[in-house]
Chain A
Amino acid sequence: MSTKGKAGKGEGIAKEWRPRIVGFLCTWCSYTGADLAGVSRLQYTPEFIPIRVMCSGAVDPAYVIKALLEGADGVLVGGCHPGDCHYLTGNYKARRRFAVLGELLEGMGIDPRRVRLEWISASEGGKFAQTVRDMERQLIELGPNPLAKEELL
């Protein structure tokens, strides 16, 4: 259930919380898919902020951790479908790194569902928008990232 639509008029009025999602999108596939979603006017939360990277294999888990510690409620990493990576195998390696990160986060009490690695091709504007919508729904269920409220991190 989305809390969308309750944005108050103008700044200053307290808005209902909407999850902030940072997206690391690979240039060749998912970032282009995001462009396509935009051209097609597909809707997803404006609290999703994209960051372009060359390849999903270039996303160091340290960046994802940074995003979570800086206040993101969730992080999406978008890569090409296995077998289609423009740089041949970057996404396979990303898959391993993010399996480890997921275990690590879970082991330290951070819900691993806050980090999602998803394969989105350049032509899958629909899948991109749907993924972000799904993530928002999931994050609303999970609630705000507890790390964001920690003062001394």
Chain B
Amino acid sequence: MPGLKRRERLLKLVLLPPCDDAFKAAVDLGELARQLDSPDEATIAVVDDRLCGPGMDAAVAEHVKRTRAEAIVVGGPSPRTHGEAWRRAASGAGIPAGRVEVVPLWTQCAHLAATPAAALRRARIMLEAAMARVDLGPEASARTVEASQSVLVIGGGVAGMQAAVDLGDLGHRVFLVERSDALGGRTVALSRTFPTQECKPDGCCPESCRDCIFTPKPDIVLSHPRVEVMLGTEPSSIEGGIGGYRATLRTPKGDRTIEVGAVVVATGTVLFDPAEMAELSPGHPDVVTTLELERMLDAAKRAGGGSGGSGGGGSVTATPLTRPSDGRVPRSVHFLQCVGSRDAHHGTRECSIVCCTYAVGQALELKRTMPPGTEVAIHYMDMRGPYRGFERLYQEAQEAGVLFLRGRVAQVEPFHDHLVIEGEETHADEPTSWDADLVVLTVGQLPAPGSVALGGMLGVPVDEDGHLMEYNAHWGVLERRGVYVVGCAAGPRGIRYSVRDGREAALAIHVALRHARLELGEGVAEVDEGRCTGCGQCMEACEYDAIDLEARTDPRTGRRRQLAVVDERLCRACGGCVTACPSTAISIPGFSDGQMVRQIEVSAGERPREG
């Protein structure tokens, strides 16, 4: 029509990668491309095999350069699974993420239509809706924020120490805070771990075994040039978001505030205290926990000065351990598994992972160091050995004569000079009882005290037992960017995996913070200060405390008033604030009202262009 001004449109490149056989069978890609090609609509459609392979990025760049496209619509893959890859390819060609639309024709189109014509029609509608939307796509790429390169590590156990050392080695400044007055966490109390490397006759432990490959050494941490260790210190508040956390630490010398880019939570676990389970007579001197047994075994070994390692060929030159009550050598030692684990009423609901392994290890050790004929038994519900080496240990223990009794124990009662265990055994028809001179309670691992408060401080969910759930397996993302929970704080596990956690987190943090400016990939909410009334509805709607009201100058009136301000490190781009604002004074680039309306217009009413 003469005189009618044509609307300005972005030049759009529609890519139809021919990778999906079912889709190719349902829709004639060449015909689809031909129908979409239109100078009027500023659209160029391309079918190219190279889009299906490793040459994808190069092919995209070439087409963009050739056509001088300003926006890309990809017809085929799903944005859920492939969005990242296509945005990367587009970005490499100079097209910002907000001007890329990925349309799931393979999963949400091809198989639905009865005829090729109908399939083609549907594909066109979906692509034209995406084209209408991308026409208003924002020009800017994702926002960036400054990223502090320092890291706060909370907890000086093996996981925290490994993370600190690795981060230090990668060039980051590390603040390692530890609540107690020593590094090493719970492993310090151990003189041996199971299954062992058998590298030394007297067992292995982090302090004494220089060759131990599993655990980081406190003195290496303490002497690392980039790691600052603060003992007797805990965080009292942590604010901010990835790249910019402000932590206030309570140290013995007073409060101190630091700025870090990420936080590692390595607060570990504590052993369950069986005092609350009166039915097991925990107060009785001959009812001990596995840790107490560990001390007793260690003391006996040192007193004897001989061997006693659980490796092969154990001789009985060590002094056997004696009962706390009367100093006699016990004729029978019974272990009760799962005390405070897998329990809805005491301790944790979860399995504590390592207990079967070390109880079997300790039982085997007893069999080798106690006088022949000493009865060593383990009462268990299930034998769980998640680590390589366990089965061998279990086999050895059985061969050495350790009794494995499956069934639940109801109570432990003192009787004369020994103890009586009442319980059930799976193969017996009636409740059974056993006599034991020494009862060992295999106590579970509970999250360290304060985990719930720490989770609240960091915005990380905590499960019913107090474990910090920083990683959402459902979505495959961190719940809170920049917060990494490692080791037993996330759930019971053994030493080697705690250490590995620390190492992995260090690398992940290094990758996340590697640029001095961090790219906030999802886009963040933006406030139009000229339209914001400061009503605070967006602030109320935001689940992440990313929005606040602050004094700002209203650009329309020049006056100071309270207006919404977004903390971009905390914003998750969910759009809750956008719906809460009746005038859309706050919006998310890529999801603007204009874009949504365009897409809706085509999706609701569009009939494909003829031709």
What is the bound-complex CA distance between A57 and B581, given in angstroms?
Answer: 12
What is the bound-complex CA distance between A67 and B575, given in angstroms?
Answer: 19
The answer, yes or no, to whether A99 is at the interface (CB within 8 Å) is no
Contact flags (1/0) for B88-130 with A, using CB distance below 8 Å? 0000000000000000101111111111011101100110010
Pair A43/B111 contact, Cβ less than 8 Å: yes
> Closest residue of chain B to A31, judged by CB?
B80
Chain A residues positioned under 8 Å from B588 (CB to CB): 54
With known contacts A7-B118, A51-B600, A71-B604, A93–B541 Cβ distance under 8 A: yes
The answer, yes or no, to whether B304 is at the interface (CB within 8 Å) is no
Q: Name A36-79 residues within 8 Å CB distance of B.
A: 36-39, 41, 43-46, 48-55, 57-60, 62-63, 66-68, 70-72
Chain A residues positioned under 8 Å from B195 (CB to CB): none
Pair A35/B107 contact, Cβ less than 8 Å: yes
Pair A22/B574 contact, Cβ less than 8 Å: no
The answer, yes or no, to whether B573 is at the interface (CB within 8 Å) is yes
Residue A39 contacts which of B107, B117, B580, B591 (CB distance < 8 angstroms)? B107
The answer, yes or no, to whether B596 is at the interface (CB within 8 Å) is yes
> Closest residue of chain A to B119, judged by CB?
A46
Pair A5/B114 contact, Cβ less than 8 Å: yes
> Closest residue of chain B to A36, judged by CB?
B107
The answer, yes or no, to whether B601 is at the interface (CB within 8 Å) is yes
Pair B475/A54 contact, Cβ less than 8 Å: no
Chain A residues positioned under 8 Å from B106 (CB to CB): 38
Contact flags (1/0) for B468-500 with A, using CB distance below 8 Å? 000010110000000000000000000000000
With known contacts A11-B117, A54-B575, A70–B600 Cβ distance under 8 A: yes
The answer, yes or no, to whether A102 is at the interface (CB within 8 Å) is no
Pair A35/B605 contact, Cβ less than 8 Å: no
With known contacts A11-B117, A58-B578, A93-B576, A70–B601 Cβ distance under 8 A: yes
What is the bound-complex CA distance between A70 and B104, given in angstroms?
Answer: 23
Q: Shortest beta-carbon distance, B605 to chain A, in Å?
A: 3
Pair B579/A93 contact, Cβ less than 8 Å: yes
What is the bound-complex CA distance between A27 and B125, given in angstroms?
Answer: 20
With known contacts A35-B104, A35-B108, A89-B543, A51–B603 Cβ distance under 8 A: yes
Residue A35 contacts which of B80, B113, B129, B573 (CB distance < 8 angstroms)? B80
With known contacts A20-B604, A54-B591, A88-B543, A38–B107 Cβ distance under 8 A: yes
Pair B605/A71 contact, Cβ less than 8 Å: yes
> Closest residue of chain A to B578, judged by CB?
A58
With known contacts A27-B80, A46-B118, A57-B579, A87–B596 Cβ distance under 8 A: no
Q: Shortest beta-carbon distance, B546 to chain A, in Å?
A: 11
What is the bound-complex CA distance between A53 and B595, given in angstroms?
Answer: 12
Chain B residues positioned under 8 Å from A34 (CB to CB): 104, 107-108
Q: Name B594-611 residues within 8 Å CB distance of A.
A: 596-597, 599-601, 603-605, 610
What is the bound-complex CA distance between A78 and B543, given in angstroms?
Answer: 20
What is the bound-complex CA distance between A93 and B109, given in angstroms?
Answer: 30
> Closest residue of chain A to B129, judged by CB?
A49
Pair A55/B574 contact, Cβ less than 8 Å: yes
The answer, yes or no, to whether A10 is at the interface (CB within 8 Å) is yes
Q: Name B205-226 residues within 8 Å CB distance of A.
A: none
With known contacts A7-B114, A38-B106, A22–B591 Cβ distance under 8 A: no
What is the bound-complex CA distance between A70 and B606, given in angstroms?
Answer: 9
Q: Shortest beta-carbon distance, A127 to chain B, in Å?
A: 15
Contact flags (1/0) for B131-173 with A, using CB distance below 8 Å? 0000000000000000000000000000000000000000000
What is the bound-complex CA distance between A50 and B475, given in angstroms?
Answer: 21
Chain A residues positioned under 8 Å from B433 (CB to CB): none
Q: Name A9-35 residues within 8 Å CB distance of B.
A: 9-11, 20, 22, 27-28, 31-32, 34-35
Chain A residues positioned under 8 Å from B541 (CB to CB): 57, 93
Pair A66/B604 contact, Cβ less than 8 Å: yes
Q: Shortest beta-carbon distance, B73 to chain A, in Å?
A: 13
With known contacts A22-B603, A41-B111, A35–B78 Cβ distance under 8 A: yes
Chain B residues positioned under 8 Å from A41 (CB to CB): 111
Residue B112 contacts which of A46, A68, A89 (CB distance < 8 angstroms)? A46
With known contacts A46-B112, A97-B579, A54–B604 Cβ distance under 8 A: no
What is the bound-complex CA distance between A27 and B475, given in angstroms?
Answer: 11
Pair B111/A57 contact, Cβ less than 8 Å: no
By CB atoms of chain B within 10 A, which of A5, A60, A93 has the most? A60
> Closest residue of chain A to B116, judged by CB?
A10
Chain B residues positioned under 8 Å from A31 (CB to CB): 80
Pair A66/B597 contact, Cβ less than 8 Å: yes
The answer, yes or no, to whether B401 is at the interface (CB within 8 Å) is no
The answer, yes or no, to whether B557 is at the interface (CB within 8 Å) is no
Chain A residues positioned under 8 Å from B467 (CB to CB): none
What is the bound-complex CA distance between A58 and B581, given in angstroms?
Answer: 11
Residue A87 contacts which of B80, B107, B576 (CB distance < 8 angstroms)? B576
The answer, yes or no, to whether A86 is at the interface (CB within 8 Å) is yes
The answer, yes or no, to whether A4 is at the interface (CB within 8 Å) is yes
> Closest residue of chain B to A32, judged by CB?
B80
The answer, yes or no, to whether B192 is at the interface (CB within 8 Å) is no
Chain A residues positioned under 8 Å from B240 (CB to CB): none
Pair A57/B575 contact, Cβ less than 8 Å: yes
Pair A55/B118 contact, Cβ less than 8 Å: no
The answer, yes or no, to whether B455 is at the interface (CB within 8 Å) is no
Chain B residues positioned under 8 Å from A5 (CB to CB): 114
A-B contact pairs, 7 of them (CB 8 A): A38-B104, A41-B111, A51-B600, A55-B574, A57-B574, A88-B543, A89-B543
In addition to A93-B576, A148-B605, 12 A-B residue pairs with Cβ atoms within 8 Å of each other are A34-B108, A38-B109, A41-B111, A43-B111, A44-B112, A49-B129, A49-B603, A57-B574, A70-B601, A70-B604, A86-B472, A90-B575
Residues of B within 8 A of A (CB): 78-81, 104, 106-115, 117-119, 121-122, 125-126, 129, 472, 474-475, 541, 543, 572-576, 578-580, 584, 588, 591, 593, 596-597, 599-601, 603-605, 610
Residues of A within 8 A of B (CB): 4-5, 7, 9-11, 20, 22, 27-28, 31-32, 34-39, 41, 43-46, 48-55, 57-60, 62-63, 66-68, 70-72, 84, 86-90, 93, 97, 122, 148
Going nearest first, the 5 A-B pairs with the smallest beta carbon separation are A58-B575, A38-B107, A71-B605, A70-B604, A87-B574
